[in-house]
A and B are shown apart, each in its own frame.
Chain A
Amino acid sequence: MSFRLKVLLVVLFSVGLSIVLVAWQISASARNSFDRLDAERTAALVAQFQKEMQRQDTEIEKQLSQIAAAEAVLKVGLENSHGQPDFSPYANTAQELAAAHSLDLLQVISADGTIISSAQWPARFGYKDAAIIGNPLPSAGFLKQEELPEGRALALVRVHPLQVREKPLFLVAGQILDEDFLRALVLPAGTRVWIYRPQGKDSSSGDLIAATALPDPGKISAFAQRMQLAYLGHQSARQFEIVHWTNDPADDETISSVPLTGRNGSLEAILLIGATHRARVEMSRNIRNAAFLIGGIVMLVGLVLAALIARRVTRPVEDLALAADRVASGDWHTAVRVEGTDEIARLAQAFNHMTHELLAQRERLVQTERVAAWRELARRLAHELKNPLFPLQITVENLLRARQHSPQEFEEVFRESTTTLLAEISNLKAIIGRFSDFSKMPTPQLAEVQVNDIVKDVGQLFAAHFTRSEGQPVEARYQLSTDLPVIAADSVLLRRAIENLVLNALDAMPHGGTLTFRSATEGDHILLEITDSGAGLTAEECERLFTPYYTTKQFGTGLGLAIVQSVVSDHNGRIWVTSQKGKGSTFHVELPTHAKAVAASDTMPARTS
């Protein structure tokens, strides 16, 4: 990943993160606002519920006052004042009065709690309901679970005592808090309300009074039941719960609970207030969408700005990197432009200074090496030429001596001397030829080559040498990979290199031994190893082994391994030796398998190892 891309990404990430943080902060603020709004709406609804209850209570009281003055009640009161009252004619009185005064509940009860007439349950006449008129009589309406023929119902009830001829009589009236009551409530937008009515004091079940149909009332009831247990002290629970109606979060609803108590503080019902999440979810979605839109625009602008900034910031660094690449590839004349005085400019100055110093040092090194090479060449030439020259000198001196001292033997000496002279001259020509060959290494002509085949051919060529009559034989072993790929190489040069390695190995094993050929594939290279079991080399010898004209042999020219290294380098390969004194040496030749690599390398200087 480029530096510019990194800078670009850092800028974009910073911008994106900033947008996310801002959006999150806005969402959190909106959420808090909605929570406060929900709490306010819940409080307003509870207040309205209580106000409606108060209004109902006032209306009940008003109706009760009118009923108390009705003639029918007066008749009941008069009957009540008798010693043995007969209330049977008045069994329907409460029904008629309740209908006339729009009351859901109305009971006329005597002082001993006997129900004289009941509007809500006419069949209960004659039964006792003394608890409702027990002391102290409540001064206001209260919630009560009223028993009806079809079950219990939650009602707001008020007791109205009256006296007829000094005999007490009680009117108990009320309104049922049912779906119609809930529908009458003016709800704040986005809120709903239910009433949960427990079935019994200790029962964990109950009925849900809902103004509108619910898809799954069990969810509300389950929460209400937990609240019921909590209010009864059986367990602790939160006062609200979020109900998920569907998979859409907008349909979620926060349900808050408010206990509704009765005459003696008993839990008569639970007011459940639902506040929809739709507004807040839609707000969140709007914030998110706005964040995406703004973020997208800002990211786009940021991308352009970041690209410009990155370009300005990274261009000197990129120039430096490119210059470094050029230096690495051999172009030591590379220099970068220095702009400004900042750290990057100082770095550019240092880079230019470094390349300048490198060039100077290389020039000095080349000159030094050139002088050393000439000296070595002169030394080798002197050494190589001196050996044949000495016999030539002796032979010529013998000829002169024979001509002067024994002319009769001159002919014989002459023939012998000319033979010697021709041999030594031939030797000189061979020496000069080898030097000439080294100086004239040809450019490799690449073709598809199977290295194993060349190894086997060379082995075949030297088979006679392996089983030589003098000394101990050399055992040739082949550990060649069967799936060695074909490579692009010059088979002639490669054969010559391998021959030189084999000759070198044979020279290292004058007393016989084992010569092992090993080939293998390693990644995109093939590896050829030729191991002898000779005397081995020292570490210093290993380092200098491929230096031209360096030899460890008495009659070597020091050019054999230099030629091998030249061939391997020309194939963009590398060669190295590993050895352990007394245990033999191994020459490792690594050649690329891809023709391209080789072809490409044709234009590049050969590497040495």
Chain B
Amino acid sequence: MTQVELAELSRFLFEPVAIGLLSAAMVAYLYAMSATRIPRPDGTVAAAGRRSEHAGFVLASLGALALGAHIVVRALAAGRMPLGNMFEFSTIIALTTVLVGLVVIVGRLDRADLMGFLLLGSVLTMAAALLVYTEPGPLQQVLGTAWRAIHVSAIVFAAGLFTVAFVFGALYLVRDTAETRLRGPGPASGGSLGAAHAADLSGGEELDTVDGRMWPDAVVAGDLDGVEAEVVAEYRSHMRATIDPWRLAAGTFLGTAAVSWVFWVQGIRAGEAAFGSGFTRFLGINVVMALAAVLAWWAVPFLPSAATLDAMAYRTIAFAFPVWSFAVIAGAIWAEQSWGRYWGWDPKETSAFLTWVAYAGYLHARATRGMKGRNAGWLAIVAFGVLMFTYYGVNLVVSGLHSYAGTV
């Protein structure tokens, strides 16, 4: 096959094959999440839920395979390692999230109920990758060293892990809001960790006597075994009712806009009209994220407990942080080798450092009593915003502006 044909094949594998498979897997897992959370009178789980979970696993595995094949074919088309530009980075970030989901989240931790949203994260990452699509092509010579390869693969891997953590962190905040409000005013309100802890102490099914509470804490935390079906249905609608989806969507729209404006600015810089395709992208990203938030709102009664989500976000970040640290160090070694300066505060170095500081802030917040729970959860969201802003912003806008000193 010629290079051009290979390029076309790789693109085909990416879109529609991989995106299609992963989207289908996402739908299957989301359905499974809702179905397996409906206990039947005999206490078993609807078979449809299990079947759909298995279908999701197969589809997601095939999707990961297609994405892997895409990467290999693209590497052949370009004749080099597929770690050269933003499109390729985003692809690997997406693949990382899928693989982490399949191997760790489903395989080791048995949390298939989180896979739907995880796959949503990877599908959105892939869609965003298409916004920065580049034909497979040769790489500048300065980019072809071993340390660079180490640096880039580590940083992309860590970014994939941070994406996973963001999914957990965002779901945590939604779920925690619902749990806190469902518990109503009482000693346990004001921070889920305290609340979840109180749930542990209360010892299960006992209904709380504090005024304004209607639900056993264990039910609020998602333990529905042995609870009657009507109660479950009512509890579910009550849990959704605690959150106004419009406000959630609007908030998500605005929060996303804090990052996605770089696409708008990029369009204007490229000479488009103020409301040209850059604006469309900006708007599109915000709307999609707002829709994702509404999906999370719909799913809130099916989600794992806030405490679980919080712990998973923390563990993911705790794993990713050393990887990121190592990647930054490898980048400094590469810079010293290629440019004779290990650190120059150029926009990319600055953004890597900034992301590191943001996640260090999260880890500190988690280690500080009084800062745990929601505050730390918000920090995780902000840190991911910083990562995305520096990733897209620096690559699309800033480095085009202050041309890269020293890059030959």
Is A bound to B? no
